[in-house]
């Protein structure tokens, strides 16, 4: 069991790292650091960097949380630590 819970925690941290990288890339990356470069590309009437800062990153955040909830549910089952 000890081994098992260590493996569960390692898998959890792996998932968190993956999600935080995307979280960082859309907001701080595309929305701030690379926004001036991305603004030369247009999405309809939106300059792309501006879109990420005021629209896009929010949509991605929502998807990330639901993806996290789903994947964690799977991890819980796989390592047999789920509720009930």
Partner 1 sequence: MDLQTITYVVVGASFALYIGIAIWARAGSTSEFYVAGGGVHPIANGMATGADWMSAASFISMAGLISNMGYGGGLFLMGWTGGYVLLAMLLAPYLRKFGKFTVPQFIGDRFYSKSASTVAVICLLTASITYVIGQMTGVGVAFSRFLGVTNDTGIYIGMGIVFMYAVFGGMKGITYTQVAQYVVLILAYTVPALFISLQLTGHVLPQLGLGGTLVGTDVSLLTRLDQVVTDLGFGKYTTSVPGSTLNMFVYTVSLMIGTAGLPHVIVRFFTVPKVKDARSSAGWALVFIALLYTTAPGVAAMAKYNLISTVNSAVATDGDLYAADASLEADKRPAWMKRWEQTGLLKFEDKNGDGRIQYYNDKTTNAEAKAKAEAAGWKGNELTVNPDIIVLANPEIALLPNWVIALIAAGGLAAALSTAAGLLMAISSAVSHDLVKNVIAPDISDKNELLVGKVAMAFAIVLAGYLGLNPPGFAAGTVALAFGIAASSLFPAIMMGIFSKKMNKEGAIAGMLSGLFITLLYVFAHKGLFFIKGTEFTGLIGGPNSFFGITPEAFGAIGALVNFAVAFLVDKVTKEPPEHIQALVESVRIPRGSKAVDGAH
Considering the rule CB under 8 A, would residue 41 count as an interface residue with partner 1? no
Selected from 27, 37, 40, 74, the binder of partner 1 by CB under 8 A is 27
Residue position matching structure tokens 């549910």: 73
Q: How far is the CB of 50 from partner 1 (least distance, A)?
A: 5
Selected from 36, 37, 74, 78, the binder of partner 1 by CB under 8 A is 36
Considering the rule CB under 8 A, would residue 44 count as an interface residue with partner 1? yes
Residue 32 is classified by DSSP as: I
Considering the rule CB under 8 A, would residue 81 count as an interface residue with partner 1? yes
Mark 41-64 as b/e (b = at least 16 C-beta within 10 Å).
eeeeeebbbbbbbeebbeebeeeb
């Amino acid at each position: 069991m000890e081994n098992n819970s260590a493996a569960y925690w390692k898998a959890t941290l792996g998932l968190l790292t993956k999600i935080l990288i995307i979280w960082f890339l859309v907001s701080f990356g595309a929305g701030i650091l690379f926004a001036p470069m991305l603004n030369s590309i247009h999405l309809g009437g939106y300059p792309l960097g501006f879109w990420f800062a005021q629209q896009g990153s929010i949509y991605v955040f929502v998807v990330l949380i639901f993806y996290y909830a789903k994947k964690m549910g799977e991890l819980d089952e796989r390592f047999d630590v789920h509720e009930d």
